[in-house]
Amino acid sequence: MIGENRAAVLERMSNACVRAGRAENSVRLLAVSKRQTIETIKAAYQAGQRDFGENYGQELREKAAVLRLPEIRWHSIGRLQVNKVKYVANAAWACHAIDRIEVARELSRRAPGTVKCFLEVDVAGEETKAGVSFEDIPAMLEKVSALDRLEVVGLMCLPPYAITSEASRPYFARMQALATKLQLPELSMGTTQDFEVAVEEGATWVRVGSELFGARPKAI
Ligand SMILES: *Cc1c(COP(=O)(O)O)cnc(C)c1O
């Protein structure tokens, strides 16, 4: 079932590439496996999936320790507390939600090698959301880029939940404009609710969970 879901998502991604006149291999699928079991992740791996995204540091570390499979890559996609950085520093190939310099410093201090980083943008100025405003991203980029072992590759966002995927389009377009201006090659944006629109607006990573795995279990 995961194999079929994955094939369908990949097909929708490549159709969106065609619509936008983009190369079909210019966007990759990050499977959001938070709260999914080891068996479920293994099934996705067997279907060809190699990149997995986790929100919680301890869960990422535990899964990475069990699932030592060739070519598998772990992405930390949730907001990190400084004292949780230690859980992901060894296992994460990329961190998608860097939004505070303290977290970046701690990651740089603890990571054994280079970690790819995305700065999280708070696209809608939501008080409760993680992320840095569009205006403050250039200053943040300068600070994080100065740290050892962190390679800032792009920007990431999670727009407010909306009924229609079109509601996300203006945010995604603004993300692309800023990434271009800052010469950042990667854009991590688009989830089950809006990944095709994200691809049309320049995403290079889409983070899809429920459309691949079905509804998330409440706890594992
Ligand atoms: C859970 C989550 C996703 C995936 O959401 P779905 O709606 O299941 O596709 C993507 N990005 C982040 C940051 C998440 O927390």
- In the reported structure, the alpha carbon of residue 206 is separated from the centroid of ligand 1 by a whole-number distance in angstroms of 9
Is 217 a residue whose pLDDT tops 90?
no
Is 108 a residue whose pLDDT tops 60?
yes
- In the reported structure, the alpha carbon of residue 13 is separated from the centroid of ligand 1 by a whole-number distance in angstroms of 16
Query: pLDDT tens, 194-212?
Result: 999 999 999 999 999 999 9
Is 48 a residue whose pLDDT tops 80?
yes
Q: Which residue has the higher pLDDT, 190 or 216?
A: 190
Nearest CA to ligand 1 atom 12: 77
Distance CA(114)–CA(202), nearest Å, equals: 25
Query: pLDDT tens, 156-191?
Result: 999 999 899 999 999 999 999 999 999 999 999 999
With a Cβ cut-off of 6 Å, ligand 1 is lined by: 32, 34, 55, 77-78, 158, 191-193, 207-211
Q: Which atom of ligand 1 is nearest to the CA of 156?
A: 13
Distance CA(30)–CA(51), nearest Å, equals: 5
| Most confidently modeled range among 54-58, 125-129, 215-219 | 54-58
Q: Which atom of ligand 1 is nearest to the CA of 96?
A: 13
Q: What is the pLDDT of residue 216?
A: 84
Show the tokens assigned to 9. Answer: 């998502």
Pairing of strands 92-98, 205-208: unpaired
Is 192 a residue whose pLDDT tops 70?
yes
What average pLDDT does this structure show over 113-130?
Answer: 92
Q: Which atom of ligand 1 is nearest to the CA of 32?
A: 4
Q: Predicted confidence band at 130 (pLDDT cuts at 50, 70, 90)?
A: confident
Q: pTM for this structure?
A: 0.97
Show the tokens assigned to 19. Answer: 């619509």
Q: How far is CA 154 from CA 37, 78, 120, 158, 177, in A?
A: 29, 16, 9, 14, 12
Q: What is the pLDDT of residue 220?
A: 54
3-state helix/strand/coil string of the chain: CHHHHHHHHHHHHHHHHHHHCCCHHHCEEEEECCCCCHHHHHHHHHCCCCEEEECCHHHHHHHHHHCCCCCCEEEECCCCCHHHHHHHCCCEEEEEEECCHHHHHHHHHHCCCCEEEEEEECCCCCCCCCCECHHHHHHHHHHHHCCCCEEEEEEEECCCCCCCHHHHHHHHHHHHHHHHHCCCCEEECCCCCCHHHHHHCCCCEEEECHHHHCCCCCCC
